[in-house]
Amino acid sequence: MTMIVRNLQLVRDRITTACVAAGRNPASVRLLAVSKTFGPEAVMAAVSDGQRLFGENYIQEGVEKIVAVRNHVTGLSGPLEWHCIGPVQSNKTRQVAEHFDWVQSVDRLKIAQRLSEQRPAHLPPLQVCLQVNIDGGANKSGVAPDEALALAAEVAGLPRLRLRGLMSIPEPAIDFVAACAVHARAKALFDQINAAGVLPQAMDTLSMGMTADLEAAIHAGSTMVRVGTAIFGKR
């Protein structure tokens, strides 16, 4: 058993335990393995244990990895799903639109419009989450919470995109209670946008929680946790 396979099992156990504690079905939370800075061989090790969702922060590195893994993985029980979770600049939107399945870091209409225009017609719609700066962190990307509803309505109307939900990366919390509180604010915003009746279809994805705070995020309602260090090791 490789270290990555062993770590994956430990993370899945953490997710299950957190879901049980929160009275939730473990199947309601998806695990995104954040493979940034690790090579294709690390992804392949995770794939061998059934992991199918992978997140990349750096676009060029991610595109090269997607191509490399695609050329070495055949006969899988299900396709791999690649998520861009890092900042997207205007000069990188074409690469993202052509290679990734999801973009979780949309925080401006301009970026969403470029992704929509550049998504190849032969591919399914690009799945999109809005990144929300839920706690107002000075060094964090993301749309302000009070601007998220308007942006969601605009993004949801773009062709070749499907708005799936919200993503947040709050500042580290001092304890479990504090972490739950900030994640609960993202869940409340998620529910508020869905209840506003401005979207053609309800959002279904709330991406929050990482290695250090996945239990708190699940307690607050996360449907996808983004875990890197606990699976692949320190960078």
What is the Cα gyration radius of the chain? 17
Can you give the CATH number for the domain in which 212 is found?
3.20.20.10
Give pLDDT, residue 79: 86
Give the span between the Cα atoms of 128 and 110, in whole angstroms. 14
Give pLDDT, residue 227: 98
pLDDT per residue, tens digit, the chain (235 aa), is 699 999 999 999 999 999 999 999 999 999 999 999 999 999 999 999 999 999 999 999 999 999 999 877 666 666 899 999 999 999 999 999 999 999 999 999 999 999 999 999 999 999 999 999 999 877 788 999 999 999 999 999 999 999 999 999 999 999 999 999 999 999 999 999 999 999 999 999 999 999 999 999 999 999 999 999 999 998 8
Q: Which two tokens stand for residue 69?
A: 């893994």
Give the span between the Cα atoms of 130 and 149, in whole angstroms. 10
Give pLDDT, residue 75: 61
User: Scanning the structure block, which residue is given the tokens 């993370």?
Assistant: 11
**Which long-range contacts link 21-24 to residues 24+ away (Cβ below 8 Å)?**
21/215, 21/219, 22/218, 22/219, 24/218
Give pLDDT, residue 143: 97
How many domains are there within the chain? 1
Give pLDDT, residue 235: 80
CB-CB contact of 148 with 192 (8 Å): no
Q: What domain range includes position 110?
A: 3-232
